[in-house]
Structures are given as structure tokens and as C-alpha cells.
Amino acid sequence: MQLSEEIFQLTQQHFGRAPDQCDDRQLYQALLILARQRAGERPAPTGERKLYYFSAEFLLGKLLSNQLLALGLYQPVKDYLAGMGRDLGVLESMEPEPSLGNGGLGRLAACFLDSIAALGLPGDGVGLNYHFGLFRQVFSRCKQTEEPDPWLQPDGWLIPTRRAFPVSLGNTQVTAVMYDIAIPGAGSGCANRLHLFDLADPAHAPWVGIDFDKGDIAHNLTSFLYPDDSDRAGRLLRVYQQYFLVSAGAQLILAELEERGFAPDTLADHVVIQINDTHPSMVIPELVRLLMDRGLTFDRAADQVTAACAYTNHTILAEALETWPMSYIQTAAPQLVPILRRLDQRAKAAHPDPRVAILDGEDRVHMAHLDIHYGFSVNGVAQLHTDILKHTELKPFCDIYPQKFSNKTNGVTFRRWLETCDQPLVSLIDDCIGPDWRRDAQKLEGLLQFQHDPAVLSRLLEVKQQNKDRLCRLLWSEQGLDLDPSSVFDVQIKRFHEYKRQQMNALAVIHQYLEIKAGRLPQRPVTVLFGGKAAPAYVMAKHIIHLILCLQKLIEQDPQVRPWLRVAMVENYNVTWAEALIPACDLSEQISLASKEASGTGNMKFMANGAVTLGTMDGANVEIAGLVGEENIYTFGASSDQVIALYRDRSYDPRACYHRPQVERLVDFLVSPELLAIGDPASLSTLWHDMKSKDWFMALLDVEDYIRTKAEALRDYECRTAWAEKMLVNIARSGYFSSDRTIRQYNEDIWHLN
């Protein structure tokens, strides 16, 4: 059937009218149903082994455009709509963004599902269906507040299935039901699934408010992603969630294994489980338990599970390395306790070194240690991060199991992060090198032949301008921000965390502000854009957001500064905002303290869209620098070796850095009369004290070099042709960071799917 006929039938059937008589919502709904049906008809990829990607988060973003793209319908649908004077972007703006993720780890999982399907590999995602997701960020009096984000729509992307599994949570018996989102693969003709488990019983329907009773498991198990874990009840709730996810997921794996005609003791021949950070680590003892129920001995079960499980580490931050008191597991999943004790004893018998123990002297379970002993693969997410894991953080493990460790540098799907989010740039690329880069992103290197082509370079600058204009329109209509599209767009978008050092960027803003106040004007106005959420219980991150919102307000009120410098913080930053911000960015801020950012993936997206990086030699920035060469990136700051030595020797002295005259006046501005008149004195002075005396992530160590390097970048920006060359080299060299490449490597080295 013709596409137009199919859409006609759908709108007739559902709304009793022809497409051109439908309103935007109806037309959107018809296209959703079309995509859902087409994806549902696609066969699953086949292979001897099947991958299950277990993750607490899948940060999908809006689905319509990317589903149509994978189905080969994107351009036909756009053309069809254009023929009626309608626009796919307008229709898609109706779609609420699924709120199933938080940051890089969740977005990586979404990029991976896209690439796994595109490569035709058999692999499904396994996660939870959080009804209110993370939270919706609302600014009120220059502070972040949190509201539930009810993103689920009737008749949306979720496909109900007949799968249901019993799960015992302490002394409560619940049923996990499974919903699916189809994941069609671009160019593969296949579709995988993202399985999202939820509570079955409507009497147990999730709770609606945000101040819920955390003890009421039945009502809030799948309410929120990362419920506040600053107290015991919140932490217990996380353990309940984790166990619910892995128990249902493990039962799914064994059910499918049986349906494929394989015996439980051949698990590892037919199944590989990728454990995305430690949140799903309890899948290990749960599978051991279920295999023992099916007749395997403990040792045989443990061996099968070890040969099936692979672990990805995403962070070396101590506070993110999960350890659960055994007493929590005794409460939430008592059936796992004897298994965990046996797994611990078996590991201790072979490796008595207390540094590698699963259970420590306080009876806490170290989830990463469990993954490393009882998995066959451990990977970091960028070369530097993997090296730090091997030589520092996980060295005792690497000495025992050197063969388990490998690097898999992250990647991003160019289908979402170039093809659908930056159409002006895509047209330019197509005109230069044709369409082949879609199948093989390394082909973007073909752009290098245009590095000195004035026509291409000036078109590149026009494309960037178009994207900046588009962003300005959007920020105006959605958030009432009116920005200057002819200014330089300097963008830092990511979760708020002290190690990512948004506070250092804020100090640079203060520097620019004081310069303008002193009559030293920049060559061109600058707009510093921020976006990101702070975890509700992360007090210091919230102080940093407050500082930025106060600076924004201060500058808005100042007619002397406002024409030259603006600060704009996007409210409720999410994937959808990223898709508008990244194509519009000139300068990409990747300024984490070296050694702390495992990889970063935003850095890759910016690069592919022609932004130039201002960054530390951290995470994947190191690899970006290697690919583009030093003249096409701005790096600064202490090296990871220096930082690691400062921590090891406890020799970082924030007070000494603070007392440098240029630094002191920037830091003291936090408690200046101007700022105190706008903000909350308690919040600003807490941040001020912390910066002077603790500065755990060493913002004051790097701030001067940072300000100097940013000034250099802004100077270079004025030579427009030379800047356009830098943009072009960044785009041309970004192909390495396609998640198709990353997934090929996972498959070749870890999964061996087909």
C-alpha cells in the first residue's frame, strides 16, 4: 500500500476524517500508529546468542522522527506532510519525552539500542517503566524545584505484552508485567525490543505526589527513577526497584531460553547480559538462584552466570560505586542473601585480598566487586578511564583478571545526533560527499578535502547561523528568553555535578562581567548557555544552579553588561532541548576535573555538529584532541596524572589558589552586595565557603588557565574562515564516535552474537 493511502486509512479509522482535515494531534497519532505497526511487523534479528542490555535508565528522547528514520519513512513522511503544508517537527512537538533516564549512562543505553538494531544484532533492552520518570525541573526564585513528570500517554509507544512474572519483594508478592517499545534498526529490516517492567495490579498503581511514603513499596515501586536516597527508606526503595528489575529480567531470559529449545545449563552459550553500571548487578545472584531452582548445582550455576555476564563501569567517583548493607537485601530480597554469601565465600577462598572482597567487614555488598568476580568482561568507556580503572581504581582486580578488562570508547548514534537534529548541516554534507556517511560515519572524513574551500566554509557558517536562529526562536517561544543570535554561543549542558565544574564556568562569567564593568568590552557579545538538572538531594549542585540563575538575573537587569554578555539557563533540560542546543553551539564546554569524567558523550555530539571543544584532557576529550589535532581544540588545566597525585598526596590547597588576586575577586563576588541582593545569602555563602576551603573538584586550580584559554578561543572565533576550518575538521573527524563503531567492538570482543 502507498504511504499516503495507509495514512488516509489510519486517520479515517481513528478519527473519521481525511489527513488534511486532522489537527496536529490527530495527525501525530496516526503517524505514531503507523510507525508502531510497521516496527511491530519487523522480524527480530537471529543468532546463536542473544544480548540482554540491563539498565536502570534508557534516556530515549522523542521517538517519532527516529522511528520513522529507522523504518525508512522519514523523508517520505516529511515530503508527504510538506505536500499538505504540514511539518513533522510541529507534530512531534506534541510528543512528551519519555522520562526514563537521567544522564550520560541512560542516553548511552538509548544510542546503543539504536545501533544494535541497525547492525541487525539480536539484543533487547531491559528496564523499568517509571510512571513519573526522573522529575520535571522548574525554576522558582532562582532555584531548582522538582515536580513529577507524568510522561505516559494512552495509546503511545508502549506495546502491552502477555509476559508476566511473579516477584517476591520482602514479604510482598507482586507481579511484573512487561511492556515493549519496538526498536527498529535503520537499514537492517529488523527490530529489537526495549522491555519495560511494571507492576501489574492497578490497586498497586504508582503513587502520584512527590512526597510519598517511601515505605509503601506497592504504590511507588515504579513511580520514580532514582527516588531520593538521602535516607534509609529511599535507599531501600532503590534496592526494591533494582531487584524487581533483575528478577523479572532474569525470568524473561530463562523463559526465552526455554522457548528457543535450550536447557538452563547452556545459558552462557545462548545468552549474554550487559550490566550497565552496578544498578542491575543483582541479576547475578538472581540468575544463580533461578538456575539452582532448575536443578543446577551452585558451582555450575555460578559458572554459567559468570560466562554470561559482562559489566560496564561508568564512573570512578566513590559515591557512585554502590555498596548495599546486607540488611537491606535481607529486607528487600531475602532469597538472595544465602546466594550472595556463597558467592562471597567462593571469591574469598580463591582471592583472600580484602580489597577485592564482595562482602566487607561491615557486611556491605560491593556491587562492582560482585560484577568483576562473577562476570567475564569489565569495560571502561574511554581509553583514559579504562587506564585509570586498570592502573588505579580497580588495580587489584586487574592483577587477578587481566584478561577480563578492555576499553570500549563510547559513541553516539548519528541518526539522532546529526541526521534528525541538524538538517541544514546534513544537506551541506550530502552536497559535499553524498549520502554514504549514513552507513559508515568514518566517511565524514571525505569532508577534509573541502577544508580550504571558501564556498563550503561560508556555507558551514551559514548553517551554524541558521541553527542559532532556530534555537533563539525556540527559547523565545518556550521559555521567554530573547537571546542575540549574532553572539557567540558558549554551551555547557549536562547533569549538575561539582566534578563537571559548572561553578568554574560561573567564575569565568563573573570574570567577563567584571571586565565589561571595567569598560573592557569583548570583540563580540557572548551568550553562555547552561542546561541540566541536579539530583534532588545534592545540595551543593543546587547551590551552583542558584548561582547561575542569580548571575543570569543580575546581567538581565544591567543595561551596561546585557548587550555584551548573557547567561541563559534552559529550564528542564532534556534530550529534546539538547537536539536544539547542540546544532546551535559554537563553543562546547567539557571542563570536568581531569580523571573524573569517564567519557562524556555530549562532547562527541557537539563535535559532530561543528562546535569546537573547550576542555580538559579528560574522558573522551583526550581522544577528540588526538583526532582533530591541537589547532582544532582548546585544552587547558591540570592533567589526570597531576590530579590523581594531588588526591593521593592530599596536597591540593584551595586556600593558596583562592589567595591569588585574580581568583579571590571572582570567588568573593559570590557574596558581593550585587549578588546577595538577588539570591539567597545562605546558599551563596555556603558555596563561597566551600569553594575557598574545600573545592573538592579543584575549580580554583584550573580557573585561570580556563579563563585564558576561553579568551583565546573567543579571539580566534573572530577570524571566521579559520574558525570554519576548525568546525569542518571537527565534523570530519567525528565519525569515530559513532555508536555503530562502539557496538561493533562490543560485539567482536565481548558479545559474539552472530
**Which x/- pattern, by CB under 6 A, does the window 569-598 give for ligand 475?**
----------------------------xx
The sign of the dihedral angle between the CA atoms of 363, 368, 369, 374 is: positive
Does residue 314 have an active-site annotation? yes
Looking at the Cβ atoms of 104 and 654, the one nearer to ligand 475 is 104
List 99, 315, 613, 640, residue binding ligand 475 (CB under 6 A): 315
Q: Is 55 in the site for ligand 475 (CB under 6 A)?
A: no
List 10, 22, 30, 105, residue binding ligand 475 (CB under 6 A): 105
Phi and psi angles of residue 180, each rounded to the nearest 5 degrees, phi first: -120, 150
What are the strands, taking DSSP E only, across 151-237?
A: 159-169, 172-184, 191-199
As measured in angstroms, the least distance from the Cβ of 348 to ligand 475 is 27
Alpha-carbon distance of 106 to 378, in angstroms, equals: 18
Q: Is 536 in the site for ligand 475 (CB under 6 A)?
A: no
Does residue 500 have an active-site annotation? yes
As measured in angstroms, the least distance from the Cβ of 420 to ligand 475 is 21
Q: Is 601 in the site for ligand 475 (CB under 6 A)?
A: yes
Residue of 470, 473, 495, 741 marked active site: 495
Q: What is the DSSP string of 61-125?
A: ---HHHHHHHTT-HHHHHHHHHHTT--HHHHHTTSPPP----SHHHHHHHHHHHHHHHTT--EEE
Residues forming a β-bridge with 309? 273
Looking at the Cβ atoms of 544 and 551, the one nearer to ligand 475 is 544
3-state secondary structure of 712: helix
Looking at the Cβ atoms of 461 and 537, the one nearer to ligand 475 is 537
Q: Are 559 and 437 in contact (CB under 8 A)?
A: no
Looking at the Cβ atoms of 321 and 461, the one nearer to ligand 475 is 321
Q: Is 619 in the site for ligand 475 (CB under 6 A)?
A: yes
Residue of 50, 193, 494, 533 marked active site: 494
As measured in angstroms, the least distance from the Cβ of 392 to ligand 475 is 16
Residues 691-720 that bind ligand 475 (CB under 6 A): none
As measured in angstroms, the least distance from the Cβ of 494 to ligand 475 is 8
List 102, 247, 502, 747, residue binding ligand 475 (CB under 6 A): 102
As measured in angstroms, the least distance from the Cβ of 100 to ligand 475 is 13
The sign of the dihedral angle between the CA atoms of 389, 391, 393, 398 is: positive
Looking at the Cβ atoms of 226 and 717, the one nearer to ligand 475 is 226
Alpha-carbon distance of 470 to 476, in angstroms, equals: 10
3-state secondary structure of 174: strand
Residues 205-234 that bind ligand 475 (CB under 6 A): 226
**Which x/- pattern, by CB under 6 A, does the window 377-406 give for ligand 475?**
----x-------------------------
As measured in angstroms, the least distance from the Cβ of 346 to ligand 475 is 28
As measured in angstroms, the least distance from the Cβ of 623 to ligand 475 is 12
> Would you state the cell numbers that stand for residue 676, as one nine-digit string?
546577595
Q: Are 501 and 699 in contact (CB under 8 A)?
A: yes
Looking at the Cβ atoms of 378 and 666, the one nearer to ligand 475 is 378
Alpha-carbon distance of 41 to 191, in angstroms, equals: 9
Residues 401-430 that bind ligand 475 (CB under 6 A): 410
CA dihedral 380, 650, 700, 690 (to 10 degrees): 100
Q: Are 123 and 181 in contact (CB under 8 A)?
A: no
Q: Which residues contact 449 (CB under 8 A, 6 or more apart)?
A: none
Counting residues that bind ligand 475 (by CB under 6 A) gives 18
Does residue 605 have an active-site annotation? yes
**Which x/- pattern, by CB under 6 A, does the window 277-306 give for ligand 475?**
x-----------------------------
List 600, 615, 679, 735, residue binding ligand 475 (CB under 6 A): 600
Phi and psi angles of residue 381, each rounded to the nearest 5 degrees, phi first: -115, 5
Q: Is 534 in the site for ligand 475 (CB under 6 A)?
A: no
Looking at the Cβ atoms of 505 and 599, the one nearer to ligand 475 is 599
Residue of 533, 605, 692, 726 marked active site: 605
Residue of 38, 193, 314, 366 marked active site: 314
Part of the chain binding ligand 475 (CB under 6 A), chosen from 115-123, 551-559, 571-579, 599-607: 599-607
Q: What angle do CA 22, 28, 30 make, to 5 degrees?
A: 75
Query: Residue number with the shortest CB distance to ligand 475?
Result: 104
> Would you state the cell numbers that stand for residue 748, as one nine-digit string?
567482536
Q: Is 148 in the site for ligand 475 (CB under 6 A)?
A: no
Q: Is 108 in the site for ligand 475 (CB under 6 A)?
A: yes
Alpha helices by DSSP H, 318-411: 326-332, 337-350, 367-373, 383-388, 395-400
Nearest to 625 by CA among 746, 736, 479, 512: 736
Does residue 495 have an active-site annotation? yes
How many C-beta atoms surround the C-beta of residue 118 within 10 A? Answer: 24
Looking at the Cβ atoms of 105 and 587, the one nearer to ligand 475 is 105
Residues 245-284 that bind ligand 475 (CB under 6 A): 277
Q: What is the DSSP string of 396-461?
A: HHHHH-GGGEEE----B-HIIIIITT-HHHHHHHHHHH-SGGGT-GGGGGGGGGGTT-HHHHHHHH
> Would you state the cell numbers that stand for residue 452, as one nine-digit string?
580550504
Looking at the Cβ atoms of 408 and 710, the one nearer to ligand 475 is 408
| Footprint of ligand 475 (CB under 6 A) | 102-105, 108, 226, 277, 314-315, 320, 381, 410, 597-601, 619
Any idea which residues carry the catalytic annotation? 314, 494-495, 500, 601, 605
